[in-house]
Structure 1
Amino acid sequence: MLTIDQATYDAIIAHAKRDHPDEACGIVAGPEGSDRPERFIEMVNAAGSPTFYEFDSTDLLQLYKEMDANDEEPVIVYHSHTATEAYPSRTDIGLAMEPNAHYVLVSTREHSNDEGPVEFRSYRIVDGNVTEEEISIVATLS
């Protein structure tokens, strides 16, 4: 189960809506081994595409250096789908290299960047196997 605070949940959705019609992407880091998504990091989709996301390699390297220095790891790796459901594509599955991470997908296909609900789902992706998990949204992480 993914436990996420309301502010981080809202920030992920806001990023997905703002970047629509392109896919948005980012990471939420937390203390190593804690499974606590604490530090929201909005990334740039270097692909600038409505059907594909790619972290900028220089930005990603810098982020991993920061996380390493802070004893952090990626707890959530998120991106949006702009025209399809919030389910990992074959490309998404192939890119999933963090076995401990929650892979969050947000679909903005119904309301794009307008007001209205989005589809927000979380998965574990390990060795190409996709397992959807429950999400618990809390006021604050305690």
Structure 2
Amino acid sequence: MLTIPKMIYDALVEHARRDFPLEACGILGGSDGVVTEHYAMTNTDKSNEHFMMDPKEQFAVVKDLRGKGKGMVAIYHSHPETPARPSEEDIRLALTPDVSYVIVSLAGPEPVVRSFKITEGISTEEEVLIQ
């Protein structure tokens, strides 16, 4: 299960809306599946179909998290026009072990946020608890 505070959940949705029609992306930090930190990142691909995070930003986030005694809990991105499920590319590029992959879909009238564990090409949905 992935636990996300309501304030961070709202920030994810706002980031997806702000970057629309491009994919938004970022990192969620914390520990033991509980999110406590939100880092909106730059999609250097500037695409509505895929994303790439700026490596310098990633390094700064990891350094900040370590300084706080926390780790990377999830990587998130938005799907501006498609459902909240991992695409073949999302699954192929899910190379960070032991993190959740959160997708914010803006395809419908209301945003949908879902989370997945992706290991060796297998995607498994996990429960998201908004607190």
Give me the TM-score of the superposition, normalised by structure 2: 0.91
Instruction: Provide the residue aligned with 1:114 in structure 2.
Output: none
Deviation string 1:22-61 (CA, Å, 9 cap, x unpaired) is 0000011114xx2221011110111111111110112112
- Please name the residue that 2:66 is paired with: 68
Q: What's the RMSD between the two structures over aligned residues? A: 1.4
Higher mean Cα deviation, 11-20 or 60-69? 60-69
Question: Hey, what does 2:89 align to over in structure 1?
Answer: 91
Q: Counterpart of 1:12?
A: 12
Counterpart amino acid of residue 4 in structure 1: I
Q: What one-letter code is carried by the residue in structure 1 that aligns with 2:29?
A: A
| Paired residue total | 131
- Letter of the 1:127 counterpart: E
Deviation at 1:130, TM superposition (A): 0.3
SS in 1 for 2:82: coil
1:6 corresponds to which letter in structure 2? K
Give the structure 1 partner of residue 28 of structure 2.
28
The structural deviation recorded for 1:65 is 2.5
Question: Shift of the alpha carbon at 1:11?
Answer: 0.6
Q: Structure 1 vs Structure 2: percent identity of aligned residues? A: 38
- Bigger radius of gyration, 1 or 2? 1
Contact 1:24 / 1:80 at 8 angstroms: preserved in 2?
Answer: yes
Q: Deviating runs (4+, > 6 A) in structure 1?
A: none
Structure 2 residues not aligned, in runs of 5+: none
CA distance in 2, matches of 1:92, 1:126: 12
Give, in whole Å, the separation in 2 of the partners of 1:109 and 1:40: 23
Q: Could you state the TM-score of these two structures normalised by the residue count of structure 1?
A: 0.85
